[in-house]
Structure formats: C-alpha cells, structure tokens
Amino acid sequence: MINSDDLRFFGVIAGHSSLAATARFLNVTPPTITQRLQILEKKLQLKLVDRHARNITLTDEGQLLAERAKLILTEIDDLHESIYSQRNEVAGRLKILAPLGFGSRYIASLVTQFQQQHKSLSVELELSDNPSRVGDHSWDIMIYIGELRASSLRLSVLAPNKRFLCASPCYIEKYGEVNKPADLRHHHCIALRENAEDVTMWKFTSSNTDKHESIRIIPKLASNDGRVVKQWALEGQGIIVRSEWDVAAELKSGALVLLLNDYELPAANIVALLGTEQRARAGRTTKFLKILKENIGAQPWY
C-alpha cells in the first residue's frame, strides 16, 4: 500500500522533466530516484513513467496518480491545519518559491524563524530565477520581482523596489560619463537574464519631461546570476541595471555610482503571489505573509 511519502515523491517526479532533474531537486543520486520509482511501481503493479533518452513522460496511470496525489496531499495538509488550529497552532506544509539571490539573502532566514516558532509545520523553499521553468508544485506563496505578466494568482505587495543604472567609479573614469540613454550604445553593458524578460531592452523615462526612451543594448557580458553581474560591475567591467535591494549598500559606500540621475527605469515591486483561494486562506500562509510584509516591508537592505 502506498503512503503520503510515496505521493509526495511522485509529485516531485511529475513536476520535473527527467529523473536526473528530480535527483538534483531532492539532492540525491539518479539511481536512488530510479530505485524508489521502481519500488513504487512494484507496489502498484503499474508502470507510471515512460523513460526516454533525456526526459520522461507520465503514463496515463502516472498522470492520474499525479493529479489525485496533489488533491490528496492538499487535503492532508488542510486536515493538519484544521486539527492544529483548534489549539491555535500552525501545522501542515508551507511551499514557497522565491528568486535565487533575494531568497537566499532575505527569505531563507525568515523561513527558519517561522518554522522554529511552529514546530508542527514543515516548509519547502525553492529558489529559482526562472519560475516559468519550475514544475507545478502548488506553491502557497511565490515571491516575485520584475515584470509581472498576466496572472490569475492573488498579488500582495511586500515592498517598493526601484531599478538603478549604475557602474563602478573606475569604469566611469576609464570610459567616461553617460549623459543620455543613447550613450549606452557606446558603453560596455552587462545583462542579467532572468524571468524570461527582454533584458537587452533598457527603458527610461525622463524625470523632467516624462518622455520615454528605449535603448537596445548589446551586452559585453551576460549571466543568469545577479551576484555575478554585480561583481562584474564592481570590478569595473561595465554598466548594469539592478534592483535597489541588491545595490543599496554598494551605492551608499560608493563602490557603485548612479548613472543618468535625470531618468528612471521601470520599478519592479517585490510582491507575493498567492495560490488558490483555499490554500491562500490557510493559517500557515496568512501568518507567513504577515511576517513577509513586516520584514520585507521594512526594506532591510537599507
């Protein structure tokens, strides 16, 4: 007979494109995943997954199991929530998705504090700068920064977040000032590839005239890791566009300087996206959202 651990395990498989990706997510070896899947299939006497060269697909039975497992696990979590709420305790499983850099710096510590306050609660935190590539794990809360496309999820703003054009003083000394957006075509620009945005189109609005101007840059350097991009800028390799939460300390110390002070870039508020109405109302979700608003709303980067 299968149990809830089996259902959670198969739910992870269903949310990834391959068994190797599942192994990386669970931080185990691929043979471990294969062996456990074989045990599960033997329990059910059913084939759940078709294996291909580089990916997997669910069989009809596997698809049914994945769909029903999601419903069953949600019911189990909600049952735990209801039982423990009778004693004013928070329980069940809280699933959070957050950006890699921001999540590791500001969210991970809040997660551990929250879990320590509620011993009957388990928390799953996944960090990714490409949420569209992350499998469907029925997240309770997704923390998002950047251009938000149309979404049916409920949105709660945690903190305002401007974007700044900046470079190191040594870069400016070597390559000269930037006086207008068009000058960027002749400078070394660095792109951060995240959230499937058009990261080479930099959009500016004049603070004096409200005139909009867009510049298509040709990056000298590009990375999907914000820490790498900022380090390149600190080393004088080029000009970056970064969120204030990430560069506030460097701007204050003078390690980076603001460019084009008479222009503004589109803001990228830090928001929490909540899942389905039922899960969004769960006590564990609303309580953690309150902690997020209190801590992130205080803009700890300042």
95 in Cβ contact with 124 (< 8 Å): yes
pLDDT at res. 265: 95
What is d(CA 262, CA 114) in angstroms, rounded to the nearest whole number? 42
DSSP track, 75-117: HHHHHHHHHHHTTT---EEEEEEE-HHHIIIIIHHHHHHHHHH
Return the pLDDT at 97.
92
161: pLDDT confidence band, cut at 50, 70 and 90?
very high
Domains of the chain: 1-88 (1.10.10.10), 90-161+268-302 (3.40.190.10), 163-264 (3.40.190.290)
The reported pTM is 0.70
C-alpha 248: how far from chain center: 20
Name the β-bridge partners of 241. 165
Tokens of residue 88, six digits: 């004013």
The predicted model gives 209-230 an average pLDDT of 92
Average pLDDT of the chain is 87
Query: Which residue's structure tokens are 């070896």?
Result: 29
User: Which of 68-72, 206-210, 234-238, 273-277 shows the lowest per-residue confidence on average (mean pLDDT)?
Assistant: 273-277
> What is the pLDDT at residue 220?
92
For every residue of 208-269, DSSP letters joined together read: TT--EEEEE---SEEES-HHHHHHHHHTTS-BEEEEHHHHHHHHHHTSSEE--TTEEPPP--
Q: Please enumerate in sequence order all residues whose Cβ is within 8 A of that of 175, keeping only pairs 6 or more positions apart, or say none.
A: 187, 188
The Cβ-side half-sphere exposure at 158, using a 13 Å CA radius, reads: 27
pLDDT above 60: residue 210: yes
Strand partners, 144: 271
Q: Is the pLDDT score of 292 beyond 90?
A: yes
Nearest alpha carbon to residue 64 among 52, 47, 43: 47
- Report percent pLDDT > 70 for the chain: 89
Q: Would you give the end-to-end CA distance of the chain in angstroms?
A: 54
Q: What is the pLDDT of residues 59-109, one digit of tens each?
A: 999 999 988 888 888 777 777 666 666 556 677 788 899 998 999 999 999
Question: Cβ-count burial of 215 within 10 angstroms (0-12 exposed, 13-18 middle, 19+ buried)?
Answer: middle
